[in-house]
Amino acid sequence: MERKINKSKLAAQIQRTINMPVKKKREYDGDMGRVISTGSTLLDLAISGGRIRGGGLPLGILVEIFGPSGCGKTVLLSEIAGAVQRSGGDLTFFDPEARLNQQFARIFGLDTTKLDYKQPSTVTELFQAVRAWEPRSKKDINGIFADSLAALSTDLEIDNKDGDKMGMRRAKEFSEELRKTCRVLANEGYLMVCSNQVRVNVDAGIYGQKYTTPGGESVGFYSSLRLQARKPSEIKVKEKVAGKEISRTIGVQSEIRVFKSSIWKPYRTASISILFDYGIDDIRENLQFIKDYTKNTMYTLGGEKLAVSLDNSIMMVEERNAEKELKEEVIDLWEMIESKFEVDRKPKQR
């Protein structure tokens, strides 16, 4: 039997379809309406300089900082945590390794008396606490920090049961917990930053991945941004004492690579200098960047020559309170360089 078509009903359905708002495809992760700095101008730019002037970390994402021991992961994480607190936001700090002390935190402007501090032992314990966390205000920039994921175990490990299945169980717990947690981060607009250690992958073979991070593949899969910290080099200074020249290591310089990014383009790199008892030295890297990418033989600011010595140039910038001026010049130069590599192609035909 032929089915009759209700033309008026069909017309109404078509009209509703026409009036229905079209959902735009979300190109990138993160809310760029509220951005927090890493403490490094060049790293901020490498992360999202193409989306917002100056770049930085958007809210609503999971960030993993991974690399070998001593490459600056905890310093970078703590710099970001300090920036969140200085912005007036709340933060919770998970410290499985119990490494955060008041003296270390003070370097980054972190007030340990005003942060929600916990020392979880297991994967489940950490992520359940993350989902249950309630900041004072959801209008502010609020952050969740974990240093480090590699120190987390499972209930199975703690009970010393079924040793052969510990690794598989740990990876499964990371996957289960991250799947639930990342939805909360996006919906609530929280920034979560975690550090993680790399370990040699003995089963990699000739063409496999040489290094891996604890927790299976799930941390890398669910992270919107993965920052790889490379093995650092020493920053040394020489001083004359009683007529003798003495050299001392005052910090380290580490290269940070945007290993994976869903918030802008991956594979950008940035150099960060970390001074002991100071943290990230942004002025040092900014002055060096301008010198490296211009024809100047001396360090400059606004085209004016400062000094031949980097340390003397840093002092001159600080004496003039010209940190913001220097930063703006670096951003302008970086944007000019990036513009040279923009792909200007005709849109593909449908």
Place of tokens 């017309």: 11
User: pTM here?
Assistant: 0.86
Domains in the chain, start-ordered, CATH in brackets? 31-280 (3.40.50.300), 282-341 (no CATH)
Cα distance between residue 179 and residue 192, in whole Å: 14
Nearest to 186 by CA among 9, 332, 61, 14: 61
- The dihedral region occupied by 303, where left means phi > 0, alpha psi between -120 and 50, and beta the remainder, is left
Retrieve residue 136's tokens.
């004072």
Structure confidence by residue, pLDDT tens digits, 259-298:
999 999 999 999 999 999 899 999 999 999 999 999 888 9
153 DSSP assignment: B
Retrieve residue 130's tokens.
């993350």
User: What is the secondary structure of 156-194 as a DSSP string?
Assistant: HHHTT--GGGHHHHHHHHHHHHHHHHHHHHHHHT-EEEE
Place of tokens 């403490």: 39
Structure confidence by residue, pLDDT tens digits, 171-183:
899 999 999 999 9
Q: What are phi and psi of 315, to 5 degrees?
A: -60, -40
Q: Give pLDDT, residue 170.
A: 84
Structure confidence by residue, pLDDT tens digits, 56-111:
999 999 999 999 888 999 999 999 999 999 999 999 999 998 888 888 888 888 88
Structure confidence by residue, pLDDT tens digits, 176-211:
999 999 999 999 999 999 999 876 554 444 454 555
104 DSSP assignment: H
Run of H or E including 216: none
Structure confidence by residue, pLDDT tens digits, 213-266:
666 789 999 999 999 999 899 999 989 898 899 999 999 999 999 999 999 999
**Mean local confidence (pLDDT), 147-163:** 69
* Cβ neighbourhood burial of 339 (10 Å; 0-12, 13-18, 19+): exposed
DSSP 3-state of 103: helix
